[in-house]
A and B are shown apart, each in its own frame.
Chain A
Amino acid sequence: MVRFLIFLLFSAWAIVSAVGVVTFSNPIYVIIWLLSCLIAVAGIFFTAGAELVGALQLLIYAVAIAVFYVFVLTAVPWEKAVKKDSHYRTEGVLSLPLVLLLYLEMVVVFLLGVVASPEGKFREAIAKIGNAEVVGSVLFTKYFFAFEVVSVVLLVGMIGAVLIGRKESQTYEDDTA
């Protein structure tokens, strides 16, 4: 009962923040709403008893990822941030079908996931060996291949970043001499 009330609180909080993310025009406020939404989702995970996922949500999304948005946006001058109109009207309209398609895919994946979810399968194991241990053992046995593929994707991204950010081997000509 208490758990359900807290769940309702966090979900309402998450929905309100998500609405805030799409309705506010000032990018800094959008980031604050996004942060609030991520924290609310972490709260939902905690009420559901998934402490590890909740803590990772907090550590990876709320801190490690959202902080880069802040990092970029703090460089946005004050006058530009409060500007109302957007330059990307036509682009927005053009990309709408694709966005709808993506949302449709999300719904399909979600429904498939509901059917495939191992309801109550891990409850015993969690009670016996604990939250983090169960996630680890499932990740490194059943989903090991998918896990490794994801890490290869991350590695590719990292190599790309290093390539873009590396120093040029040849320096530009010095005009001042």
Chain B
Amino acid sequence: MESVWIDLLVVFLKIIVILAVALGVGAYLTWVERKVAAHIQRRPGPMVVGWHGLLQPIADGLKLITKEDLFPRYGNRFLYNLALVLALVPATLVFAVVPFGPEFEVFGYKVKPILTDVNVGILLVFGLGSLAVYAIALAGWASNSKYPLIGSMRKAGVIISYEVAITFAVMGPLILAGTLSTYEIVQSQIEQKLWYVWVQPIAFVVYMFSLLAETGRIPFDIQEAEAELVTGFTVEYGGMKFGIFPLVEWYIEVLTLSAIGVVLFLGGWSPINIPFVGFVDPLFFLGPLSPYVWFLLKVTALFLFILWLHWTLPRYRIDQITEIAWKVMLPLALFNIVITSIIAPLIW
């Protein structure tokens, strides 16, 4: 009986830590984004509130919370609010299967820094990740307005197309790892002394494209396209209700999908890899903390890469986006699966 309570306590603590990290970091990533964007465009960015604008997210949050809560006439209030919940919950749930580091011991009690090491973790990531489409479709419909509806239809089209591509893209690493559990995937990369990005470059490119599309980042942000749709499906939302959508889409989802990308392709918490030879750890002096720092560094690098793309590229048209998905990305992913499943059994 005692062990059940300890298990419950550990799970509870993990949930608290993950939620705090996800939402707290999510809020502060707005500041990171504004700074990076500013420096890409040779501006200083937010400088006034706090040192180099460090308190800016708090000021923004206060401003958003104290704004008047507007509601469109003839909208559907229940669905309008439900869309917010449906956006936030699945996106944060994905963190349940993100492994942050190797197993460690506290007071003789083994703890895995992953909320639930379910043996179909990767499937859950994509199942939960694409539940976001409901939030967007409902937000568009419940607002009873033209721009949100067009935006949400566009976004639904994009998500449906790229959901297929991303699912086929991750098959390659899964074939090599021979498991669907996120924790085991990292373990098998460490055992095989190989980051899967070295042997799965096609899958990685398709994954990155789909990541950008699913999270509605430039060059795939046609669902909000400021110039034509104002801000797409968030037009009728105001205050913090408006703030939640970009927070979820642009930060939490990018963060989870980057973390899963690191797990699948970049060896999770393992240090720098020389293919088939071993690992080099320039951060060895951090001791047992080094795997966590590596994981964090890799996720940060992917996130900054996505920001860099966002503030550099122009926007695709909707027909170009779906054409790329079905005519380029899907065949590439299928080709990659065929090649991998032919070659992988010969080597391993």
User: Which A residues, 66 to 107, have Cβ-Cβ distances below 8 Å to chain B?
Assistant: 67-68, 70-71, 73-75, 78
Residues of B within 8 A of A68 (CB): 160
B side interface size, CB within 8 A: 32
The dominant DSSP class at the A interface is helix
A9 in the interface, Cβ–Cβ < 8 Å? no
Give the interface centre of A32, A54, A74 by most chain B CB atoms within 10 Å: A74
Residues of B within 8 A of A62 (CB): 127, 131
B300 in the interface, Cβ–Cβ < 8 Å? no
Residue-by-residue, is A17-33 near B (CB-CB < 8 Å gives 1, otherwise 0)?
00000000000100010
**Contacting pair B74 A67 (CB below 8 A):** no
In the complex, how many angstroms separate the beta carbon of B213 from the nearest chain A beta carbon? Answer: 15
**Contacting pair B160 A67 (CB below 8 A):** yes
Q: Write the chain A residue with the least CB distance to B156.
A: A71
**Contacting pair B156 A70 (CB below 8 A):** yes
User: How many angstroms from the CA of A78 to the CA of B140 in the assembled complex?
Assistant: 12
B272 in the interface, Cβ–Cβ < 8 Å? no
Pick from A32, A64, A75, A131: contact of B120, CB under 8 Å: A131
B341 in the interface, Cβ–Cβ < 8 Å? no
In the complex, how many angstroms separate the beta carbon of B318 from the nearest chain A beta carbon? Answer: 14
Residues of B participating in the A interface, judged by any CB pair closer than 8 Å: 74, 76, 79, 82, 118-120, 123-124, 126-128, 130-131, 133-134, 137-138, 140-141, 144, 149, 152-153, 156-157, 159-160, 163, 167, 179-180
Q: Sample 16 A-B pairs with CB under 8 A, ordered by A number.
A: A28-B76, A52-B123, A54-B120, A58-B128, A59-B127, A63-B130, A63-B163, A64-B130, A67-B133, A70-B133, A70-B156, A71-B153, A71-B157, A73-B141, A130-B119, A132-B119
Please name 17 further chain A to chain B contacts, defined as beta carbons within 8 Å, in addition to the given A52-B180, A63-B131, A73-B141, sorted by A numbering: A32-B138, A51-B118, A52-B123, A59-B123, A62-B127, A67-B159, A67-B160, A68-B160, A70-B137, A70-B138, A71-B153, A71-B156, A74-B149, A75-B153, A130-B179, A132-B119, A132-B120
Residues of A participating in the B interface, judged by any CB pair closer than 8 Å: 28, 32, 35, 51-52, 54-56, 58-59, 62-64, 67-68, 70-71, 73-75, 78, 130-132
